Amino acid sequence: MDHPSTPPWEAKKKTAPRGLLRKLVLWGLALGVLALVLSGLRPKPIPVETATVARGPLTVHVVEEGKTRIRHRYIVAAPVAGNMRRVTLKAGDEVRAGETLLTVIEPALAPLLDARAQAQAEARVQAADAARLRAQESLEMARTAAKFAKANWERVRKTTDAGSISISDRELIEREAEMRAQEVRAGEFALRVADYELAQAKAALLSLAAPAESMAAVEVRAPISGRVLRVQQESAMTIAAGTPILEVGDPTDLEIEAEILSRDAVGIREGAEVLVEQWGGEEVLKARVRRVEPAAFTKVSALGVEEQRVIVLCDLEKSPAAAALGDRFRVEVRIAVWHGPDVLLVPGGALFREGGDWLTFALRGGKAVKTKLKIGRSDGKMSQVLDGLQAGDEVLLHPPDTVKDGMEVVQRASAEPS
């Protein structure tokens, strides 16, 4: 049987395509595996949160505990020595100036009539008269200043066009008029107290000069209108002249006393805005700084550290919510010490320290770039950028420890500064 013979070169041509295809498949598989390995070894972009650097207002506050106190309080003392009747009033009872009877002091044994006692009584009358004249002069000065401040405020209010005066200047002029009016009320209060003290001093002089049998009981009445704050001598007793009996004041006329660290008090100015928080109500009350006392005092903190603190007095604005506050109530004050109407702001969560420098990670071209900054003021949430960033730049918020300079990151969310 004849078999067809095949030339050797034709057999090689038939087997060559199979071998080449096998090699291509193997090389393709090897390259695919290599690509997968390289892809797995390549670091993946880290997801991060970012915020946009923008311009806006910034107010820096000093936060400290404070307590309310009645602005004008008066301690009623015994004008003469004698037998005091029991005080029936209790703390919180309402009193009216010149009408409410606080107690009665009956004459005791006749005192020894000597020149020294007579001279002392006359000196007290003269001192009380001089104090009344001083209070009257202070009241006239306060009325003059209040009249000028009110006229200035009326002129500004009536003639000011939109944009001709800044809002802050307008508020300062209005606040000046309010403060001068409060000074007039304080002067009137001081004059009433001076009249009361003069009358008591004259009564003491008359009781000293008159014989015991002709002396009448001395009625002690309320010098001002308000409420009884504290009764210091309640029981009937023999009392000496000048002994405190009770304390009265107006609980609706409150101010706030805050003890501020001296380094923070340096930046506080009279008329600065104050926010009153953590006082027991939901509403945030408003106040204004009236006075920063010039002398500091030493106070030991809870950690045993000696601190220099300064008393800052704030006028509490009257509101229905503030009526629930009383004398010596605890509050938390937030006092504005600096305000910038238009500054470049960066969130505090984007900043970190390296040595003495402030840095942040800026998002540029999909990579985290470590950037050195110059930071100004800060309110704890936002910080003022003086150099290193521009408006519109993206920065990383709370970057994880795995983020290094130049690493690729992917933006997960964007938060605008507020």
Give pLDDT, residue 417.
47
Same domain, 156 and 115: yes
CATH number at residue 389: 2.40.420.20
Same domain, 115 and 99: no
- Summarised one tens digit per residue, pLDDT across range 94-122 is 999 888 999 998 877 555 555 666 777 77
Same domain, 148 and 206: yes
With contact defined as beta carbons under 8 Å apart, do 308 and 298 qualify?
Answer: yes
CATH number at residue 274: 2.40.30.170
**Pairing, β 46-52 against β 409-415:** parallel
d(C-alpha 227, C-alpha 112), whole Å: 38
Give pLDDT, residue 41.
60
Same domain, 272 and 402: no
Give pLDDT, residue 400.
85
Same domain, 274 and 289: yes
- Summarised one tens digit per residue, pLDDT across range 35-57 is 777 666 666 778 888 999 999 99
CB neighbours of residue 35 within 10 Å: 10
d(C-alpha 329, C-alpha 285), whole Å: 14
Give pLDDT, residue 371.
92
Residue 3: inside a domain: no
CB neighbours of residue 77 within 10 Å: 18
Same domain, 258 and 329: yes
Give pLDDT, residue 374.
92
Residue 35: inside a domain: no
d(C-alpha 275, C-alpha 61), whole Å: 9
Give pLDDT, residue 138.
86
Task: For residue 148, give its domain range.
Answer: 111-210
Query: What token pair was written down for 149?
Result: 């401040």
Query: What token pair was written down for 9?
Result: 């070169």
- Domain end, chosen from 227, 249, 271, is at 249
Give pLDDT, residue 32.
78
Residue 21: inside a domain: no
Say which residues have a Cβ less than 8 Å from residue 201's Cβ, sequence separation at least 6: 79, 121, 124, 125, 127, 128
Same domain, 80 and 148: no
Residue 392: inside a domain: yes
Same domain, 257 and 385: no
Task: Name the residue among 417, 371, 344 with its Cα closest to residue 52.
Answer: 417
With contact defined as beta carbons under 8 Å apart, do 62 and 264 qualify?
Answer: yes
Query: What token pair was written down for 179?
Result: 């403060």
Same domain, 121 and 203: yes
pTM (2 d.p.):
0.58
- Domain end, chosen from 317, 339, 361, is at 339
Same domain, 116 and 198: yes
Residue 1: inside a domain: no
Residue 154: inside a domain: yes
- Domain end, chosen from 311, 339, 367, is at 339
d(C-alpha 412, C-alpha 258), whole Å: 44
Same domain, 85 and 233: yes
Say which residues have a Cβ less than 8 Å from residue 274's Cβ, sequence separation at least 6: 256, 286, 287, 288, 289, 314, 333, 334, 335, 336
Per-residue confidence in pLDDT tens, the chain, 418 aa: 455 555 555 555 555 566 677 777 778 787 877 777 766 666 677 888 899 999 999 999 999 999 999 988 889 998 888 889 999 999 989 999 888 999 998 877 555 555 666 777 778 888 888 888 888 888 888 888 888 888 888 878 777 655 567 777 777 787 788 888 888 888 887 888 888 788 877 777 766 655 555 457 888 898 888 899 999 999 998 888 889 999 998 888 889 999 999 999 998 998 888 999 999 988 999 999 999 999 999 999 888 899 999 999 999 888 888 888 988 999 999 999 888 889 999 999 999 988 889 999 999 888 899 999 999 999 888 999 999 999 999 999 988 888 888 888 888 754 444 4
Total count of domains within the chain? 4
CATH number at residue 235: 2.40.50.100
Q: How far is CA 110 from CA 113, 126, 207, in A?
A: 8, 24, 9
Residue 231: inside a domain: yes
Task: Name the residue among 306, 229, 196 with its Cα closest to residue 72.
Answer: 229
Give pLDDT, residue 65.
93
DSSP output for 82-107: EEEPPP---TT-EE-TTTSEEEEEE-
CA angle 51, 54, 56 (to 5 degrees): 125
Give pLDDT, residue 11.
52
Same domain, 390 and 335: no
β partners of residue 92: none
Half-sphere exposure of 303 (CA within 13 A, CB side): 2
**Pairing, β 82-84 against β 54-70:** unpaired
d(C-alpha 407, C-alpha 281), whole Å: 49
DSSP H/E element including 322: none
Give pLDDT, residue 418.
44
- Summarised one tens digit per residue, pLDDT across range 142-200 is 888 888 888 888 878 777 655 567 777 777 787 788 888 888 888 887 888 888 788 87
Give pLDDT, residue 210.
57
Residue 29: inside a domain: no
Query: What token pair was written down for 211?
Result: 């014989």
Give pLDDT, residue 297.
94
